[in-house]
Structures are given as structure tokens and as C-alpha cells.
Structure 1
Amino acid sequence: MARHYAIVPAAGSGSRFGSDIPKQYLPLAGQPLLHHTLAALCRHSAIDRVWVVLSPEDEYWQRHDWSPLGAKLETIFQGGATRADSVAAGLRAAQLAAAEDDWILVHDAARPCLAAAHIDALVGELADDPVGGILAVPVADTLKRADGHQRVAATVPRDGLWQAQTPQMFRYGLLRDALEQHRQVTDEAGAIEAAGLVPRLVKGDASNLKVTYPADLGLAEAILRSRLGPRAALGAFA
């Protein structure tokens, strides 16, 4: 049986967010945002180990207590300038544990609302897939392409368009080789596609949002608290 491992690239500065500290360390429902992201992976029974890849200059990690996340979590202070560089560092660490056909789930540090059901869907639907795939949602909104003056240049047909999410799950050897050859990508699926393979789309939902702008923090907290119900009022996030 193939095993499942997770890599979380968390070496970014979150410059678009406009905060004095990297957004993965911003407070969210009583914990750093990154804590919720890692907790979702660490507590899932299908995942054997989680590597979080941090910047060598990271000065925030040690300010927090990560021990409640348990023994599955390992830290790597070898994050690079790009997402692909950080994922590659995670894959190098994984080579001591992962076999060629084991699964690697790469998840955004800034997606703290990942639910067990999302992981279940990905693991279940891709179990026998020869390539792997990603969580994604069909595009529901009308899309506009802008011109150079921030005016509408065209309406883009949304038929067949999906918005990529994470985790993105591929065989260890396949992902390692694809990223070695195709580093100029924005996600792991891009490297797999560049290698001539076709990832599968596994339907997720909008609750697995990525925190990109300040307003997203409030949405993420509302989602997390809604899952706890009455427990949230009793300080379950404290």
C-alpha cells in the first residue's frame, strides 16, 4: 500500500498581504494561521508525515508552540525564493522516507480551512490514478479580461474552467522528476503538465479558501468556527 506524505511550503513573505510579519504567522482564531493549516494535515489518519518548509531566515517559528501538532510534523529551514524551490527542498527531505510510488500532498501554507473531507476526497479518488491530481472548483463567476487601462477587454467563457486549490497530490518519483525539469511553474500540477501528463481534477469547495488579502482572515475564522459549532464559544481555539 502506498503511503501518504505532505509538504507545506511556508517560506514566503506574504508581501501582497501588506503585513509587517509573514501572513502564515498572523493570528487566526487564537493560533497562527499556519497552525491551522498544519493541524489539518497532522491529524488526518491517512497522512504519515508532514514537512513544513521554512525560510532559513525565519525568525517567527520559534515564537510559537507547535508541540500539540504531534510527532508527524518535521521542520525544514531550507525554503527557497520560489514555491518550486521550497517544494523541492521538501522532496529532498522526503527521500529518506518515501518510496517512488508513495503519494506526496503539497498544500498551501495560507489555506488554513482544509477539512478532513477534502483530504478524503483527494486520497479516495486518486488511489488508483496513474498520474494524480488536485483539488479544484469549477469557476462560477463571469470572468473579464482587462486591458492596460483596467477596463474590460473581453468576457472570457468559463465553460470547462476550474480554479486550482491544494492539496495537489502526485507520486513522489513523478513529482520529483517533473519539478527537476520544470521549475518555472506556479503549482505542482503545472510541472506535471509540462512533463506531458494530465492531472485529474477532484472537486473541492469554496471553504478551502486561500488567505490572500486581509478580508480573507475574517472569512477563514468564520469557516473554522462554524465547524466547531458551540465549542467555538467555549474557547476551543485558545
Structure 2
Amino acid sequence: MTIAMLIPAAGVGSRMQADRPKQYLTLANQTVLEHTAAKLLTLPEARRLFLALSPNDPYFPTLPLAKDPRVCRVAGGAERADSVLAGLLAIDAEQFPWTLVHDAARPLVQLSDIRQLIEACLQSGTGGILASPVRDTMKRGSTQTQGPSLVAETVERRQLWHALTPQLFPTVLLRDALQRALAAGVAITDEASAMEWAGHPVQLIPGRADNLKITQPEDLALARFYLEQA
């Protein structure tokens, strides 16, 4: 089965407080995006990688990745969901009946986890996501807008999971779900949330908790540590 690989990477990553988007920060002599893309391109199913980038992105053309014939650049949107949809619209669903979407800022994902996700989804015919069971005690904060945040309640964690990526779904179903959800003004935080809203089942495939998303400055230091141990 040939699967389209899609990385939405049009964001600016303002929480990193850096001089460039987080996908272009350096880890072990390569950008975060290069580490992430290389991981996906290692898969035998990866005949084509679609990168949804900002139309004015000045960094990508300077990377060796830009010259890889397997890479197809598309214009991303204002939000992550817009970028994913742009990528899906560029994918030939007959050639690529499934699409695997992965965060640009998750360079540490293990190939064994991706392999497990692909095998589970293709065997069942149902899309799914990598996810990690919640281990910490979970608190819901109060809704007050002034003063310190207060605990409103403790949330039962036994059935709670951290949603990770990659997320793998049939291309046509995901494209349709995203189009309809965005048109309806639904807040879409990941591909699974669009599929859930559209009434499609989503499998939870256990993945490693060290598949961290680089969001804050301290995440970059932790990612460097993990890469040095690999």
C-alpha cells in the first residue's frame, strides 16, 4: 500500500521565542523539519512527502530536502487544519488512498511506532492515531479570569490519552471531514478531532511517551538530549 506522507509546517512557533519558526531550529546539525522528514522518508511506503509551508517561507529552499524528488511543497494556511486540508487537496486519492499526517515538531517519533500504526489501520480498514496513556493526576482549572488559577476538580485519568502524531486516515474520508468541519466553524485541533466530529471511528494505537512535540524552549533541549542518546 502506498501512503502519502503529509507534514503541516506553515506555523511560526511564537511560543519558542526564537528568530525563526521552530521547524527550522537546529538539532544535531540539521533542522527539526529535516529530522522529521527523514524519519518519514525512511518508510518503504513513503513514495511522496507533501510539505504544507508558508507561501513566503524563506528557509525551506535553502535545505537539501527541497531538492528531494519525493518532496512536494504546497501552500499552507493560517491554521494547522488549513494546512492539512491544503495538503490533502494536492494528494491524488487514487494513487494514495491513505494519508499519514505528522507534526513537523515531532522529530523523535520511533519508526517502530509508525509501523505499528500503519499495520493496525490497514489491517482493520479504520484510521487511527498514536497516543500515550495519561500518567499524571489531571486537574481541571476554574474559569475565573482574574487572580490565580484554581482547581475546579480532579479528572479521572483511566480513560484519558495524550494524542500524538502520526495520525493515519483514508485520504478521501479525512479530506471530506476536514472540509465539512471547517465550513461548520468547528475547532479542529488534530485530524482525529475532524474524523470524530464526522462520526468516523478512530483507533488509539499506544506510542512512546518520548514522542514529544517541540513547543517551548525547554523542549528543544530535551530533544537534543534524546537525540544524543540514540
Q: Taking structure 2 as the reference length, what is the TM-score of the superposition?
A: 0.91
Structure 1 counterpart of 2:81: 84
1:103/1:172 contact within 8 Å kept = yes
Tell me how far 1:9 sits from its aligned partner.
0.3
Q: Which residue of 2 aligns with 1:71?
A: 69
Name the aligned partner's letter for residue 92 of structure 1: L
In 2: Cα distance, 1:116 partner to 1:47 partner: 12
The AA in structure 1 aligned to 2:79 is T
Equivalent residues of 1:42, 1:73 under 8 A apart: no
Q: 98-107 vs 182-191, which deviates more?
A: 98-107
Say yes or no: does 1:154 pair with 2:153: yes
In the alignment, what sits opposite 2:136?
A: 141
Q: Counterpart amino acid of 2:133?
A: P
User: CA separation in 2, counterparts of 1:219 and 1:16?
Assistant: 16
Q: After the TM superposition, which parts of structure 1 deviate over 4 Å for at least 4 consecutive aligned residues?
A: none
Q: Secondary structure of the equivalent of 1:66?
A: helix
Q: Distance in 1 between matches of 2:155 and 2:17?
A: 30
User: How far is the alpha carbon of 1:155 from its aligned partner?
Assistant: 1.1
The runs of 5 or more residues in structure 1 that have no matched partner are: 228-238
Secondary structure class of the residue paired with 1:128: helix
Q: What is residue 174 of structure 2 aligned with on the other side?
A: 175
What count of residue pairs does the alignment treat as equivalent?
Answer: 222
Alpha-carbon distance, 1:45 to partner? 1.2
After superposition, what is the alpha-carbon deviation per residue over 1:178-228, rounded to whole angstroms, capped at 9, x for unaligned? 11101231110011001111200000011211001111111112222222x
Q: Distance in 1 between matches of 2:223 and 2:4?
A: 25
Aligned position for 1:124: 119
- In the alignment, is the contact (CA less than 8 A) between 1:100 and 1:173 conserved in 2? no
Give the distance between the partners of 2:5 and 2:17, measured in 1 at CA.
28
Equivalent-residue separation in structure 2 for 1:106 and 1:54 (angstroms): 14
Task: Tell me if 1:200 matches 2:197.
Answer: no
Q: Hey, what does 2:4 align to over in structure 1?
A: 5
Alignment partner of 1:106 is 2:118 = no
Query: Structure 1: how far apart are the matches of 2:46 and 2:119?
Result: 13
Contact 1:24 1:33 in 2 (8 A): yes
CA distance in 2, matches of 1:222, 1:74: 31
- Show CA shifts across 1:78-109 (max 9, x none): 110011110111111112xx328711000001
Normalising by structure 1, we get a TM-score of 0.88
Contact 2:4 2:96 in 1 (8 A): no
